[in-house]
Amino acid sequence: MLQSKPQRDAWHAAAQPPGGAGRLAGHRPPTAEHCLAAPPWPRRQWLRVAAAGLLAAAGGLAGPRRVAAAELAHLVVGYAAGGGADHVARVVADSLAADGYPVLVENRPGAAGLVALQAVLRAQAERSVLLLGTVGSVSIAPLLSHQAVDADRLHAVAVIASTPHVLLTSGAVPAGLAPDAELHARLERARREPGQSAFASLGTYSSAHLVGELMCRQARVDMAHIPYPGSARALADLQGGHIGLLVSTLQAALPLLRQGKVRALAVTGERRSPLAPATPTFAEAGIAGMYQAAWYGLLAAPGMLRSQHEDLAERMQRLLQGQPALRQRLRQGGAEPLALTGAAAAAYLAAQRQIWRETVAQVRPRLD
């Protein structure tokens, strides 16, 4: 039965969470401090927010459907809006909401993802709090932090996607040089002129920084490091010729690569990326040990009930394996879907911790 305008207005007014409509009406959603530290909302208010989230996910075409308060999850992202991690988080949140599991996304950038990681580790047990885990926040930052951070306390729900690292340059292609030959020429020039060449990365101690340092170690060259606060400014300076080489994730660089505004010399990994099949691997260019990838995963707070995170893992497996549109959205954003859940996800994350532990040990002298 169609509602009259007064009835619709009354329902929308009743459906507001404390402090207003939040993200559902274009305003800021409840912050992580609200979700992780504030006293619980009354059950009725949680149900209203959940119903409003489902209505928004359905585009307003279906009537509101109430779900249990425990199903309203809060997804914390350790990086600013607009980046690769944020893109993956919102793709996943949209798919979960459409599947009847509404999610509020909260960006908590800072300390290479540690701010978000520590907030999720402190989450109250009765909350459904998730972390959009990344290689930087989970695999690397705990290794380099001066504080003890036990990321192993998080429950592995799903490893969603990964993307290789890529060495980029810009400008015209040197006559007769393939990407791997151009890389060799640049590295040889760096050997002849120690300390005169440089590579840029997406930030100090980022995965891109460590990959760049490992490249220098493996190729036996001395290059200075130029850190940037993220990919946008770094890629702009690369296009403008202000820097000669940039180590990035393929995900961040892919739009400009497709437009021909930057060029890729090599990618990490044991094989070429299907998203950039013309770009050789570092191994093909004769530089061994360069297989480090960036990954994106869904991890649950330590206090989340086992039945809850297992249910969520099953849901994510069904979505990642059964929704071609979800996988296509990830690929369009430059990430290759992995669809690992449960024990497979836990094993992948354990292997990643070991890979990056070894990488940090290899480049530690250069970091110091």
Residues above pLDDT 90, as percent of the chain: 57
Sequence-distant (6+) residues with CB within 8 A of 172 are none
Residue 365: predicted pLDDT: 87
Residue 226 tokens read as 């130029």
Predicted confidence (pLDDT) at residue 19 exceeds the cutoff of 70: no
Residue 232: predicted pLDDT: 87
Are 212 and 201 contacting, i.e. CB atoms less than 8 angstroms apart?
A: yes
Best mean pLDDT range from 53-57, 175-179, 216-220, 363-367: 216-220
Helix 306-322 to helix 84-98 angle (10° resolution) is 100
Report in angstroms the alpha-carbon separations of 307 from 75, 137, 184, 318, 366: 18, 26, 53, 17, 45
Predicted confidence (pLDDT) at residue 64 exceeds the cutoff of 60: no
User: In this predicted model, what pLDDT tens digit does every residue of 90-135 receive, in sequence order?
Assistant: 999 999 999 999 999 999 988 888 899 999 998 876 668 999 999 9
Q: What is the greatest pairwise CA distance in the chain? A: 79
Report in angstroms the alpha-carbon separations of 222 from 198, 213, 287: 8, 9, 15
Mean pLDDT over 176-196 rounds to 87
CA separation for the pair 245, 215 (Å, rounded): 12
Q: Which residue has the tokens 């892919």?
A: 254
Task: Tell me what percent of the chain is helix, strand and coil, each rounded to the nearest 5.
Answer: 50, 20, 35
Residue 71: predicted pLDDT: 55
Residue 329: predicted pLDDT: 92
Lowest-pLDDT choice from 71-75, 196-200, 338-342 = 71-75
195 or 203, higher pLDDT: 203
Residue 38: predicted pLDDT: 41
Are 248 and 221 contacting, i.e. CB atoms less than 8 angstroms apart?
A: no
Residue 259: predicted pLDDT: 93
Residue 149: predicted pLDDT: 83
Residue 363: predicted pLDDT: 93
Residue 291 tokens read as 């297989």
Residue 113: predicted pLDDT: 87
Report in angstroms the alpha-carbon separations of 242 from 149, 215, 234, 246, 332: 37, 21, 9, 11, 28
Sequence-distant (6+) residues with CB within 8 A of 312 are 73, 101, 130, 157, 298, 300
User: In this predicted model, what pLDDT tens digit does every residue of 137-177 receive, in sequence order?
Assistant: 999 988 888 877 888 899 999 999 999 999 999 988 786 77
Phi and psi at residue 168, in whole multiples of 5°?
A: -115, 155
Position 195, amino acid = G
Helix 207-219 to helix 342-367 angle (10° resolution) is 60
Report in angstroms the alpha-carbon separations of 282 from 187, 250, 342, 351, 353: 12, 14, 32, 21, 21
Residue 366: predicted pLDDT: 84
**DSSP letter assigned to residue 152:** G
**DSSP letter assigned to residue 263:** E
Angle at 240 between CA 239 and CA 243, to 5 degrees: 85
Mean pLDDT of the chain: 81
- pTM here is 0.77
Predicted confidence (pLDDT) at residue 356 exceeds the cutoff of 80: yes
Q: What is the dihedral of CA 202, 204, 209, 213, to 10 degrees?
A: 150
CA separation for the pair 359, 354 (Å, rounded): 9
DSSP-assigned beta bridge partners for residue 266: 167
Residue 143 tokens read as 């290794």
Residue 73: predicted pLDDT: 83
54 or 360, higher pLDDT: 360
**DSSP letter assigned to residue 281:** B
Domains parsed from the chain with CATH numbers: 5-163+294-358 (3.40.190.150), 164-292 (3.40.190.10)
Residues above pLDDT 70, as percent of the chain: 79
Q: Which helix (H) or strand (E) holds 264?
A: strand 263-267
Position 92, amino acid = V
Residue 350: predicted pLDDT: 92
Pick the closest to residue 151 from 131, 124, 178 (CA basis): 131
Predicted confidence (pLDDT) at residue 52 exceeds the cutoff of 90: no
19 or 137, higher pLDDT: 137
Mean pLDDT over 251-274 rounds to 93
Predicted confidence (pLDDT) at residue 29 exceeds the cutoff of 50: no
